[in-house]
Structure 1
Amino acid sequence: HRWPRFLPDGRHFLYIAITHNTARDPNNGIYFASLDGKENRLLMQSDSQADYSSGHLLFLRNATLMAETFNPKTGSLEGTPSPIADQVLLDPSTWRAALSATEGGLLAYVSGGIAANQFTWYDRSGKSIGLAGEKVLNVNHVRISPDGLKIAADPGESLFDIWIYDVARNVSTRLTFGPAAGTAPVWSPDGKWIAFNHLQDGYLNIYRKPTSGMGQTELLIEGDEKNVQNWPSDWSPDGKSLLYAVGDLIGAAQLWELPLTGNDRKPRHLMPSGFITRDARYSPDGRWIGYASNESGKFEIYAVPSSGIGGKWQISTGGGQQPLWRRDGKELFYLSSDDKLMSVPLKLNADSVQADAPRALFSVANSIAPVSGLVAPYDVTPDGKRFVVITGEQGKSFPINLVTNWTAALGK
């Protein structure tokens, strides 16, 4: 449920409700509701929010802005939809159209159509050095393979699926196939498997599938009433365990470790607390885990022994999330709270971590916003010299249009 919009009486409102279960769920749409709970019903199917202005409901059909006569007291549509503007900017990842209107007939919207993303390569200075693959829609995670030759990501217009992009051959191959969303890919250390989550019967379960595409998908973690959402985070360097987070990654998240070998496959709860812990990554030698936690009141990056025995070291300062290790373990990267890619030189001792002061490498303000663990917008090559970042479509302008007395154009 997102993007509520009060109607003139202050007692009724509009909102959009979306389910991830299927690509075209009949319950996805714009709803009319009241504060006393007596009204809550579907007005129309839609993949983006609605607005109200001058006796009309404003909504998108594909990327075209439509207006239809609407009674805000009864919540009834009374007429035929009319097009108002073409190619209105739409972010399908948040079901948000870039539009706003007033009761007095003032309309503002951003042109641009459905927002696309790109995988952009950067060097350590922040210089753009090329693109990987074609433009995609609605991608939230990107992972470079252990050999640095492939990229796994989860694009999708209505639902996500896992795709593998071969950097050298410039070829994309689909790994997963609906009918529900598959997202959050994680490579095995030998590059032969990808773990991901997939919605099944209302639960986000974790599966793995061979990267060759051959063979069956294998269930690793099955969700239940206590653990509804399960998100793979990292595969251990020895291939014997998987880090994952349980929770919605926004208001709640706890880290767990799943054994992948042996007879005892019972998950282990890491650092149980009332705080959010997520974005976990094993160090290249497997002896440490870097992760993000809000225990200080804001998200910071910490490192703890993967054995669960020992101390804890704070790596970031001033806020941080999405930690990544360089392959040799001598550097850790993370995203700062002001959208900068940070670097921290490290020395990993037998029982401690020595971290230098963080320094900014470059701004990633054009990336998709890493506002929660739901998004992993960058990855680093094994040598730490190049970064792939999920960015907005480059070279495209997004002008803001302001229309006064927009209803005058109706019926023309």
Structure 2
Amino acid sequence: MTDVLPRLTEALADRYRLERELGQGGMATVYLAQDIKHDRRVAIKVLRPELAAVIGAERFLSEIKTTANLQHPHILPLHDSGEADGFLFYVMPYVEGETVRDRISREKQLPVDDAVQITTEVAAALDYAHRHGVIHRDIKPENILLHDGSALVADFGIALAVSTAGTRMTETGMSLGTPHYMSPEQAMGEREITARSDVYALGCVLYEMLTGDPPFTGSTAQAIVARVVTETPRPMLPQRMTIPVHVEAAVLTSLQKLPADRFKTAAEFAEALADRSYASKTTVMLAVHAPSHRSPLLLAGWGLAAVAVLAALWGWFRPEPPHPVARYGLGFPEGQAPNGAVAISPDGSRLVYEGPSDDGQGQLWVKDRSQYTAVPLAGTLSPGAPVVSPDGQWIAFSQANQLKKIPIGGGAAITLSDSSWGASPAWLDDGTLLYTRVGLALGRVSDAGGAVTIVWRPDSTGGGPFFLAPLPGARGAIFTLCVNLCRGSSLWVLDLTSGATRQLFPEARQGWYLPTGQIAYVRADGGMFAAPFDLKTLEVRSTPVPVLENLSLRSGIIPNLAFSTTGTLIMQAGAGGAQFGVHELVWVDRTGRETVVDSSWNFRLSISNGNVGWSLSPDGRRIAIGLNTNSGDDIWIKELPAGPLSRLTFDSTSEERPRWTPDGKSVTYIVDGASSLRQRAANGTGKEEVVLDTPGLNLLDGSWSKDGQWLLLRVGGNSATNKLRNILTFRPGVDSAPVELLSSSNADESAPALSPDGKWLAYTSDETGRNEVYIRPFPNVDDGKWQVSTNGAQAPLWAHSGRELFYVDAERNMMVVAVPAAGPSQLGARSRLFTLGNGLFLSNAEWYTPFDVSPDDKRFIMARQVTAGSEAQTTFILVENWFDEVKAKVGGK
């Protein structure tokens, strides 16, 4: 075709001025030209002579009229077509930009949102064309242009004309389509190609945008076609765990071998990509990877046809052997998805997890792998992380600071201990449980109940043991030593024979001993590492190597996974690190009625830090709020109800827990990790001032008395005691250092709240084994003490009148108690105002009150969840034979 350009230049001189060749494909050559009449740049596609001869000029010009009438925002339009000096051509706009192929070549894998958006736009174009009787037949990355943020499908101009050529085109050895993106029926040369063939090709493109490779690859076209016809796609989630499970399910549906098993229309494909519950609605098995998993009937049907065609065209082929490890995306019915910790029975047959409940407290669910739906367990509201007994018959969990067990099939719960922190006990194979007690000692109790033995206490450096995992033979346990609300953590081993502990890894979120002889642990970045472990010496034998990546961290801290003794792993995949939920501010009156403060504004809260704090200004017209943005955790000021939002802090550190000064002119806040309380004018003028530096103390909150004379401080991991939390006071200009307020107490205290007149301190303490609300005189706290709540409570808050105290009980009821002017010696009756509705934010309420009250005491300002963010949009993956994968990477028995 070396003489094409001069011949075309001469033949089209009255209409187009050809400039240069842009590229060549299997069907045509593309030239850049100037449309003389309309003074615009265009792309002219000239069919290869052998293709033009097969189609014929008359047929081409007739059929292309249909595609010329396709007018859609995501279809590259057809400007012109015709015959010039024996060449068939058609004219399209020249688009500045790139193709999807260009972007894949540059980025390898596209962001999930971008890939889904491109696919959705292409699906809209295909659906429109299909409804007008046009099948594209050659959807591939090269035919999808990206211009001004939108996708444009090219080459509809040739589709219908080529399709009518029928068998004459096959006789030339040419075919419309590209092997990597051909549907099985197209690869087999079937005459009747439907819209579902385009759906298949689009699924291939999305697969490649997400994973970096097409579903099927090979060294030759013959090898690719062989795999297209007989094999199933490689799993997507193992290649990239951040792919949402519903997206994988939609892609796999589009890639079904039989057209009848795919989406009926491209529009249905797009709808599935937008439907986060799609995985629970489809019967398509997710991430099936080996030929041995395919239906024998399907293999027989496609296999016989494939042998006939491929033997004639390309010769014999042999499929790859099956892989030893299988991964499946797990879908859950609507309203049954896990929203907390997961556990699995030793034989891998049952999944136990924290899930939703009608009242918003959450409850335990049990899902049998043979059943689609899960079953809630009555009597398990507000549970702590569950574990399953070694015999698979019982579940241990914490509830209201009690350690309990319940039959896995349902029944009455049995209390084993009255003092439990609730962070993943370890069920040893001798019939005892190790668990974290209130006060942070490790206790050991029989699974039949009875006396508790304290086996270990943390030293005076602070922190506490959480997330326990058993060692075989009741030798001991692995646990995480947490400091600063688990923002810092390390992995330790406890030897029950000697009572000694040893640090294994300085930076780890949670760890386990694997039956194959390794210690596995997850880091803060969501990566899992493993190393051989000597059970006799309790020592790590070699350098850890990575075995999993991109694990989702529940609450931004805890990896959400569990495994059976048979090697079945259940894990929640996603971006490592902090997870976020989108919230809005609401007013909640004393009857529980909720009213949105500003419907045009919402914000995200880090589930990692839980509630980073907000408080109303003294006049109730502004709110200081800690927000999680892409720039970090900072303090912002919002004018209420619908006024502007202005940023108060800008540095790279994390600021949180804002509190107004009594005059309403400034805001104080904590600088995370700096043990520092700082202050800045609320209007953003002036510089940040240091109010108090507290080296050696884990400062978590600081609030002012109404007269501005006192600061109430909440700390964690106080080096003076074994307590995790404590309350201190500081008088600026008077005290040289903070003073412990409740030095006579051995319990943990938090959530301090000072009455408006400064005479009474409300706070929470776990001195009874569970958090309750108390009142003491201030500052002479040892002059009296009155217990306000009786059945568990958190988040005390004084009314501005000083005559009422609000708090939330263990059943999420907003309670109020009258406090006489003379003091709390004769408290009024406790009254329930309302039950906090689903979505109202109570994270970390045992440490910090996550709401405020209006100046007239008639309503509360709270955060309500709008969308659950990545934490609740769960991507759970089931991995079979996972231990084999670990052994292959690490070594083991």
Question: Which residue among 856, 861, 867 is the counterpart of 1:387?
Answer: 861
Could you tell me how far 1:19 is from its partner in structure 2?
Answer: 6.7
**More off after superposition, 326-335 vs 97-106:** 326-335
Question: Which residue among 570, 581, 589 is the counterpart of 1:117?
Answer: 581
- Looking at structure 1, the residues matched to 798 and 769 of structure 2 have their Cα atoms a distance apart, in angstroms, of 24
Question: Which residue among 552, 555, 561 is the counterpart of 1:99?
Answer: 561
Q: Are 1:368 and 1:392, in contact at CA under 8 Å, matched by a contact in 2? A: no
Query: What residue identity is the alignment partner of 1:398?
Result: T
Deviation string 1:35-93 (CA, Å, 9 cap, x unpaired) is 366964438x65x324454646655578766576x423263567964557x6635322x
Could you tell me how far 1:323 is from its partner in structure 2?
Answer: 0.8
SS in 1 for 2:874: coil
- Looking at structure 1, the residues matched to 648 and 478 of structure 2 have their Cα atoms a distance apart, in angstroms, of 37
Q: Which residue of 2 aligns with 1:222?
A: 694
Could you tell me how far 1:129 is from its partner in structure 2?
Answer: 3.9
SS in 2 for 1:151: strand
- Looking at structure 2, the residues matched to 209 and 232 of structure 1 have their Cα atoms a distance apart, in angstroms, of 16
- Looking at structure 2, the residues matched to 268 and 51 of structure 1 have their Cα atoms a distance apart, in angstroms, of 40
Cα 1:350–1:133, aligned 2, differ >3 Å: closer, same or farther? same
Task: State the TM-score, normalizing by the size of structure 1.
Answer: 0.73
Q: Are 2:805 and 2:819, in contact at CA under 8 Å, matched by a contact in 1? A: no
Cα 1:271–1:251, aligned 2, differ >3 Å: closer, same or farther? closer
Q: Are 1:378 and 1:390, in contact at CA under 8 Å, matched by a contact in 2? A: no
Query: What residue identity is the alignment partner of 1:186?
Result: R
1:279 equivalent in alignment to 2:751: yes
Q: Which residue of 2 aligns with 1:239?
A: 708
Q: Which residue of 1 aligns with 2:77?
A: none
Q: Are 1:162 and 1:185, in contact at CA under 8 Å, matched by a contact in 2? A: no
Kindly indicate which of the two structures has a greater share of residues assigned to strand. Answer: 1
Q: Which residue of 2 aligns with 1:90?
A: 554
- Looking at structure 1, the residues matched to 852 and 552 of structure 2 have their Cα atoms a distance apart, in angstroms, of 31
- Looking at structure 1, the residues matched to 791 and 515 of structure 2 have their Cα atoms a distance apart, in angstroms, of 46
1:142 equivalent in alignment to 2:613: yes
Query: What residue identity is the alignment partner of 2:730?
Result: L
Q: Are 2:851 and 2:860, in contact at CA under 8 Å, matched by a contact in 1? A: no
Q: Are 1:223 and 1:230, in contact at CA under 8 Å, matched by a contact in 2? A: no
Cα 1:405–1:67, aligned 2, differ >3 Å: closer, same or farther? farther
* Percent identical residues: 21
Matches within 5 A, 1:6-405: 6-8=470-472, 14-16=478-480, 31=491, 33=493, 35=495, 40-42=503-505, 48-53=509-514, 55=516, 70-73=531-534, 75-76=540-541, 81=546, 83=548, 88-92=552-556, 95-110=557-572, 113=575, 114-122=578-586, 123-124=588-589, 125-126=591-592, 129-130=595-596, 133-137=602-606, 138-139=608-609, 140-146=611-617, 147-148=619-620, 149-153=622-626, 155=628, 161-167=633-639, 168-169=642-643, 171=645, 173-175=647-649, 177-179=651-653, 182-198=655-671, 204-211=675-682, 212=684, 214-220=686-692, 222-224=694-696, 228-248=697-717, 251=723, 253-260=725-732, 270=741, 272-276=743-747, 277-296=749-768, 298-306=770-778, 308=780, 312-344=785-817, 346-351=818-823, 354-363=827-836, 366=839, 367-370=841-844, 372-373=846-847, 375-383=848-856, 384-389=858-863, 393-394=867-868, 396-398=872-874, 400-405=876-881
Query: What residue identity is the alignment partner of 1:88?
Result: S
Figure out how many residues of one structure are paired with residues of the other and give that number.
390
Long gaps (5+) in structure 2: 1-464, 889-893
- Looking at structure 2, the residues matched to 392 and 115 of structure 1 have their Cα atoms a distance apart, in angstroms, of 15
Cα 1:87–1:127, aligned 2, differ >3 Å: closer, same or farther? farther
Q: Are 2:568 and 2:881, in contact at CA under 8 Å, matched by a contact in 1? A: yes
Deviation string 1:284-312 (CA, Å, 9 cap, x unpaired) is 33343322234555433233443538755
Could you tell me how far 1:392 is from its partner in structure 2?
Answer: 8.9
Kindly indicate which of the two structures has a greater share of residues assigned to helix. Answer: 2
- Looking at structure 2, the residues matched to 40 and 269 of structure 1 have their Cα atoms a distance apart, in angstroms, of 31
Structure possessing the higher radius of gyration over alpha carbons: 2
Query: What residue identity is the alignment partner of 2:510?
Result: Q
- Looking at structure 2, the residues matched to 275 and 38 of structure 1 have their Cα atoms a distance apart, in angstroms, of 24
Long gaps (5+) in structure 1: none
Q: Are 2:491 and 2:510, in contact at CA under 8 Å, matched by a contact in 1? A: no
Q: Are 1:160 and 1:183, in contact at CA under 8 Å, matched by a contact in 2? A: no
Q: Are 2:592 and 2:833, in contact at CA under 8 Å, matched by a contact in 1? A: no
Deviation string 1:237-292 (CA, Å, 9 cap, x unpaired) is 1222212245538935444432235x566766545422444322122333433222
Could you tell me how far 1:96 is from its partner in structure 2?
Answer: 0.3
Q: Are 1:233 and 1:280, in contact at CA under 8 Å, matched by a contact in 2? A: no
The higher-RCO structure (CA 8 Å, 6+ apart) is: 1
